[in-house]
Amino acid sequence: MAQTSKASDRKKSATSEPLRFAHPFYASNTAPAKRPPQAGYGQRMLDHIAKNLAKIPKVKNTGPMTLAAIIGDTAASEIQKAGKIRFHVGGDSGVPDVLDRETRQVMVSDAMTSDFNTTDSAGSPAFLYHLGDVIYTQAKGNYLSEFYVPYKHYPGKIVGIPGNHDGETPEKIADFQKYFCADNQTVPDVAGTIFRQTMNQPGVYWLLDAPLVQIIGLYSNCAENPGYISGAVPGNDQKKWLISTLKQIAGERKSGNRKALLITTHHPPYASGGHSGSIDMLHDIDDACKQAGIMPDVHLSGHAHSIQRYTRKVPFGGKVLQIPYLIYGCMGHGGQAVSPKFPLTQNDQTYEFGYKGWGYALVEATAQALTLTAYGVDWDANQKAIKTPIDKIIVSLANNTVQAVKLPPAGSRKPKQ
Q: Residue 11: its pLDDT value, please?
A: 47
Mean pLDDT calculated for residue range 141-158: 91
CA angle 205, 207, 208 (to 5 degrees): 125
Q: Residue 241: its pLDDT value, please?
A: 98
Report which of residues 38 and 171 the model is more confident about.
171
How many Å apart are CA 318 and CA 245, to the nearest integer? 23
How many Å apart are CA 290 and CA 293, to the nearest integer? 5
Domains of the chain plus CATH, in order, are 2-48 (no CATH), 58-412 (3.60.21.10)
What angle do the packed helices 279-292 and 237-254 form, to 10 degrees? Answer: 40
Is residue 198 within 8 Å of 56, Cβ to Cβ?
A: no
Cα torsion 230, 48, 347, 362: sign: positive
How many Å apart are CA 211 and CA 200, to the nearest integer? 19
Confidence grade of residue 35 (pLDDT, cut at 50, 70, 90): confident
For β-strands 307-316 and 213-217, DSSP reports them as: unpaired
Residues of the chain with pLDDT > 70: what percent?
91
Report which of residues 41 and 94 the model is more confident about.
94
Q: Is the pLDDT of residue 411 over 70?
A: no
Is residue 122 within 8 Å of 154, Cβ to Cβ?
A: no
Mean pLDDT calculated for residue range 340-360: 94
What amino acid occupies position 13? S
Q: Residue 98: its pLDDT value, please?
A: 57
Cβ atoms within 10 Å of 413's Cβ, excluding its own: 13
Q: Is the pLDDT of residue 3 over 70?
A: no
Q: Residue 356: its pLDDT value, please?
A: 95
How many Å apart are CA 216 and CA 349, to the nearest integer? 22
> In terms of residues, how long is the chain?
417
pTM, two decimals, is: 0.91
Q: Torsions phi, psi of 283, nearest 5?
A: -60, -40
Longest alpha-carbon distance in the chain = 71
Cα torsion 276, 279, 281, 282: sign: positive
Report which of residues 16 and 199 the model is more confident about.
199
Q: Residue 417: its pLDDT value, please?
A: 33
Q: Is the pLDDT of residue 12 over 70?
A: no
The partner residues of 370 in beta bridges, in order of sequence, read 365, 395
Mean pLDDT calculated for residue range 261-281: 93
Q: Is the pLDDT of residue 345 over 80?
A: yes
Of 136-140, 235-239, 349-353, which gets the smallest average pLDDT?
136-140
Measured CA distances, 376 to 54, 86, 348, 393 (Å): 34, 18, 28, 15
Contacts of 318 (CB under 8 A, 6+ apart): none
Of 32-36, 124-128, 148-152, 390-394, which gets the smallest average pLDDT?
32-36
